[in-house]
Structure 1
Amino acid sequence: MKTLYANGEIWCSRGRYTEAVLVENHEIIALGSDALSAQYDEKIDLEGKFLAPGFIDAHAHPLFAGRESQGPLLNGLQSVDEMVAEVARYAAANPNKSWIIGGAYEASVVAGGDFEAAWLDKAVSNIPVVLHAVDHHTVWVNSKALELSGITDATQDPDGGSIARYADGSPKGTLREPSAIDLILSNTPVRTIEDDVAAIAWACEQYRAAGVTSTTDAWVEPGMPEAYIAASRSGALTIDTNLFFLAQPESWRSRSKDFLHFRKEIESLGEDSKLHAKTVKFICDGALSAGTAALLDPYLDDPQSRGLMIWNDDELLDAMVHFDAAGFQIHAHAIGDAAIRQALDAIEAMQRVNPRWDRRPVIAHAQLIHPDDLPRFAKLGVIANIQPLWTYLDPMNAQLIEPRIGADRNNQQYQLNSLQKSGARIAYGSDWPVTSHLPLEALAVPTHRTAPGSDKAWSPQEAISIEDSLVHYTEDAAYSNFWNKGVIAVGADADFVILNQNPIKTDISQCYVVPQPHR
């Protein structure tokens, strides 16, 4: 069946428009006058609306978002009392739960970000509660969760993680980074495949309503590939999704065979499957808000600390060389300038060791890049994965990060204009559920770089145009995932979003996604 799209503003890619698009079997087969003069079976009259490639979320956690939707809903709450009340509400509505797991709370509402178990005990004391912070590098738990996990003043901080403590050494109720968080989560009930398939289906529907036609899951742990495979087979997975298998220092060798197994199984699902597995994820450091991002110079509030370096240099290089040789893309979480340098060094060394191929390595977040390292992104072909909704001075930056690192370093974050000028490619990701998955909420933030209700731009020299952002949310995000989409061109996949008006030329706050039927 051939479908013609015409009579609207059709944005193909940077600076290019066309008057019509002809699609057959989900492939673009003609543009412009060629499309208008061809025969077709169906015509979509755009009625002056804006057609563009569908948004692509190049770094997100949709299964985590779906799971959070099944627990207490803390996102957006601005006080501990509100959060505790929501946990109490959920517990009363779900009396048969053996654990309560939810998120995502805003850590900046408490000075320093240390939340106490006793506060949660007021809501629930008889069963364990685990709540994820919005940065997903931190959890807040009640006393029962600490008790069942055996965490006491005698428990040592695990390598690469930390347990917030009172002066006497007893745990407060806040744990940071995966190795510490796992002390709690390793005791939680195993989720059913059915629950996770439902979470995936919910996430896909949220995405489709937002105009997102492809996504990634950037933190795939044991049990999650099976859920995605089941979702693909059942039809619950309705948008293209690329899985990033999580490699960790203590387990990457033993997990390597599982990554290969699941990649092969996913590849065997057939051409109609929307599931892909091309990438291995490395977490090189923590988060600036938690004081765990790895820095070249010490934190101001703790001069003895430069944050947490999750991998040592040799182990990181060994792991990257191993997975790159196996044909996996490298996707490294690196926020602090020391972690970014470590990731760049490892990728550069890996490229010297392994044969050349179209590897497209990614450094995600890339928040605080040292000036000496910024040109290395383009030189090494490293894609900077940036979260556009983070590029203004939000409460987390103003209240948690700036006091820790100072104004000068804080203002060096998210150097989008400098990266573009250097020739580096930027791919956008929402990091959902850390922040909103809605591209229209994020698209203009890198242009105005202002907080809601403010007219003071944050590091305005790093602002970029809305069309730049549209490219990063489409063409560049597709490139970073090896997808043949993200542009409107003959031979490309026909994944589209329709907006009521052109966000490049008009007030983006008045733009909205026009629903399309499932095709």
Structure 2
Amino acid sequence: MQPIRTLALLLFSLATLCAQAATLVHNFDGYQATEESLEKFNALVFERGKVLASGDYADLLQRYPQAEKIDAGGRTLLPGLIDAHGHVLGLGRLQQQLELRDLDLTQTLQAIERFSENLDPDQWLLGRGWNQVLWPGKQFPTRIQLDALQIDAPIWLRRIDGHAGWANSAALKRAGIDRNTKSPDGGEILRGKNGEPTGVLIDNAMALLEQAIPAPNLQQDKESLRTAFNLALSLGLTGVHDAGIDAQTLRAYRQLADEKAIPLRAYPMVSVDNDNLAETLGAGHIGSPAERLYVRSIKLSADGALGSRGAALLEPYHDAPGEKGLLLYPESKILSLLKLAIENDFQVNVHAIGDRANHIVLDHLQSLQEKNDQKPLRHRVEHAQVLTPKDIPRFVELDLIASMQPTHATSDKNMAGDRLGEKRLAGAYAWRTFLQQGTRIAGGSDFPVEPANPLFGIHAAVTRRDRAGVPSKGWRVDEAMTLEQALRAFTLDAAYASHQEKVIGSLEPGKFADFILLDRDIFAMDSQEIWKVQVMETWVEGEKVYVR
């Protein structure tokens, strides 16, 4: 009997130890999207970073009486939010650069002038965020406007969408761009009537200038990533999908992972512009779904953006009848890059905004599917912004994920009709159409193109209004998501899009205890107010990593 009694005591001690190690969070209104439904709960138990149970407080208290108890103070608890399409290094760098978001032309020029006062000698003035659509006349700016500021420094300012840039004469001179410089394939140097560059470069032409800008070193890139991580955590993001990284950024990520200095879940996509792409993909996946760094996808941009008229369209732009946009690679090159990724078991995430770009990408993926089943790789179309209505059902046929950014619709609403005409809007920003046919939407922001706050995205998804409440009834509101669908897009389906739905995306037993506490209940308020909700705490693997 003695051995049995000893074993029983040992098991009791182990059970007591486990119970004491558990943490029980209670007194909150909790919501999570699962594969079956939206679940509401008011208590959460986790241990060693993983969820043991969620549900009713009285029940969990009885099951885990020895657990440490944390009173959430009546706040709202959600699974950690995931941004399925952002640019992490760009977000970090922007914190040291000039941001021009939402400024008119006069304000933009004034901001540039003020920012220049603190530049070191020979330092470039860098920034992004200008948007000519917000200016009178909606015309692209020119180098003459920058030159008139009499700033000696070379100036380079990316458009809000990152698909065009604006330079002064000093910057063009440093890059050797003049009237004799030819526009590269997939890009355009805008020129005046005299043939001289106006200072605006579109898509692939931007590389002609950016090669003249001193590149940050590895340590600087690591610091920019750290800055972005901390900002993301403060906004309730516990996961980010980094939409296209170069070789140095990948090294920075790997070093940070080795140093255990990645405080959230990063899913970087290897850019196809890497010189050593074949070697990188041939080396295989990096990490696993449960690790902070997980690399198993590529990012390929098929076309440009709608605002800069770089999105590739089947028919000419409504407001520029001679233009159809740009493919950034020849169709054959797009196909060869897709094949290279697939042969190495990498998911392909393809930027496609215009209906022509989307059609080409769908054709290529269909041809590859016919040769070999692609569905286990979970290929994604990033943006899937403008499609012909007959192309949308092909997402179901090919089992593709639509990686979409709700704030793009509320930012583009004043411009999209100009670019496309009302008829072609039928297949644009068509979230509900995708959802009703069973396509998963992975929610994102495309930061720093848009603000990184995921609650802005949830607000836009539900209301189809901007944060000023315009238009009052929503823009093309028939394509709005429900709040449950929007939450799922930024949690469970974003996790699915990175092959991580078994470890994150909801707070089901066995998954990581990644969650956030909000100051208000987004399910019990005017939906127009959602963007104002504040993240009070962010937890990753059961550890509090941010407090407001």
Q: Which amino acid aligns with 1:515?
A: E
Number of residue pairs matched by the alignment: 507
Counterpart of 2:488 (choices 462, 468, 471) is 471
State the distance in 1 between where 2:217 and 2:476 align: 46
State the distance in 1 between where 2:54 and 2:416 align: 48
Per-residue CA deviation, residues 244-268 of structure 1 (Å, 9 max, x unaligned), is: 11114xx67x52213445x66x43x
SS of aligned partner of 1:280: strand
Q: Which amino acid aligns with 1:63?
A: L
Q: Which amino acid aligns with 1:56?
A: I
Which residue number in structure 2 is paired with residue 498 of structure 1? 517
- What's the CA shift for 1:281? 0.5
Matched, 1:387 2:405: yes
Quick check: 472-481 or 307-316, which moved more?
Answer: 307-316
Counterpart of 1:204 (choices 229, 241, 247) is 229
Which residue number in structure 2 is paired with residue 100 of structure 1? 125
State the distance in 1 between where 2:246 and 2:198 align: 27
Per-residue CA deviation, residues 128-182 of structure 1 (Å, 9 max, x unaligned), is: 21111110001111101111111111111110001111012110000111x2110
Matched, 1:329 2:344: no
Per-residue CA deviation, residues 289-308 of structure 1 (Å, 9 max, x unaligned), is: 11111111111233332211
Which residue number in structure 1 is paired with residue 9 of structure 2? none
- What's the CA shift for 1:239? 1.2
Matched, 1:314 2:332: yes
Counterpart of 1:287 (choices 294, 302, 305) is 305
Q: Which amino acid aligns with 1:457?
A: G
Task: Evaluate the alpha carbon distance shift between residue 200 and residue 115 of structure 1 in structure 2; reply closer, same or farther with a 3 A threshold.
Answer: same
Matched, 1:462 2:479: yes
Contact 2:92 2:227 in 1 (8 A): yes
Quick check: 428-437 or 231-240, which moved more?
Answer: 231-240
Counterpart of 1:169 (choices 182, 190, 195) is 195
Which residue number in structure 2 is paired with residue 149 of structure 1? 175
Contact 2:389 2:427 in 1 (8 A): no
Which residue number in structure 2 is paired with residue 221 of structure 1? 246
Runs (5+) with no aligned partner, structure 2: 1-20, 539-543
Which residue number in structure 2 is paired with residue 518 of structure 1? 545
State the distance in 2 between where 1:48 and 1:340 align: 45
Contact 2:281 2:346 in 1 (8 A): no
Per-residue CA deviation, residues 61-119 of structure 1 (Å, 9 max, x unaligned), is: 1210111111123223222x322232232222122353222222223234454221122
- Identity fraction in percent: 29
Counterpart of 1:18 (choices 26, 41, 48) is 41
State the distance in 2 between where 1:78 and 1:232 align: 41
- What's the CA shift for 1:210? 0.9
State the distance in 1 between where 2:545 and 2:94 align: 26
Task: Evaluate the alpha carbon distance shift between residue 493 and residue 273 of structure 1 in structure 2; reply closer, same or farther with a 3 A threshold.
Answer: closer
Matched, 1:425 2:440: yes
Matched, 1:70 2:92: no
- What's the CA shift for 1:440? 1.7
Q: TM-score, normalised by structure 1?
A: 0.92
State the distance in 1 between where 2:175 and 2:277 align: 24
Runs (5+) with no aligned partner, structure 1: none
Task: Evaluate the alpha carbon distance shift between residue 97 and residue 65 of structure 1 in structure 2; reply closer, same or farther with a 3 A threshold.
Answer: farther
Contact 2:380 2:401 in 1 (8 A): yes
| Structure of greater Rg | 2
Task: Evaluate the alpha carbon distance shift between residue 228 and residue 125 of structure 1 in structure 2; reply closer, same or farther with a 3 A threshold.
Answer: same
State the distance in 2 between where 1:94 and 1:273 align: 40
Write out the 4+ residue segments of structure 1 that deviate beyond 6 Å after TM superposition. Answer: none
Which residue number in structure 2 is paired with residue 189 of structure 1? 214
Task: Evaluate the alpha carbon distance shift between residue 146 and residue 412 of structure 1 in structure 2; reply closer, same or farther with a 3 A threshold.
Answer: same
Which residue number in structure 2 is paired with residue 415 of structure 1? 430
Contact 1:139 1:175 in 2 (8 A): yes
Counterpart of 1:86 (choices 91, 95, 111) is 111
SS of aligned partner of 2:158: strand
Which residue number in structure 2 is paired with residue 7 of structure 1? 27
SS of aligned partner of 2:484: helix
Contact 1:411 1:459 in 2 (8 A): no
State the distance in 2 between where 1:113 and 1:247 align: 32
Contact 1:411 1:458 in 2 (8 A): no
State the distance in 1 between where 2:50 and 2:139 align: 49
Contact 2:159 2:166 in 1 (8 A): yes
- What's the CA shift for 1:433? 0.4
State the distance in 1 between where 2:289 and 2:420 align: 49
Q: Which amino acid aligns with 1:298?
A: P
SS of aligned partner of 1:427: strand
SS of aligned partner of 2:536: coil
Contact 1:91 1:124 in 2 (8 A): no
Contact 1:378 1:425 in 2 (8 A): no
SS of aligned partner of 2:247: coil
- What's the CA shift for 1:39? 4.6
RMSD: 2.2
Matched, 1:44 2:64: no
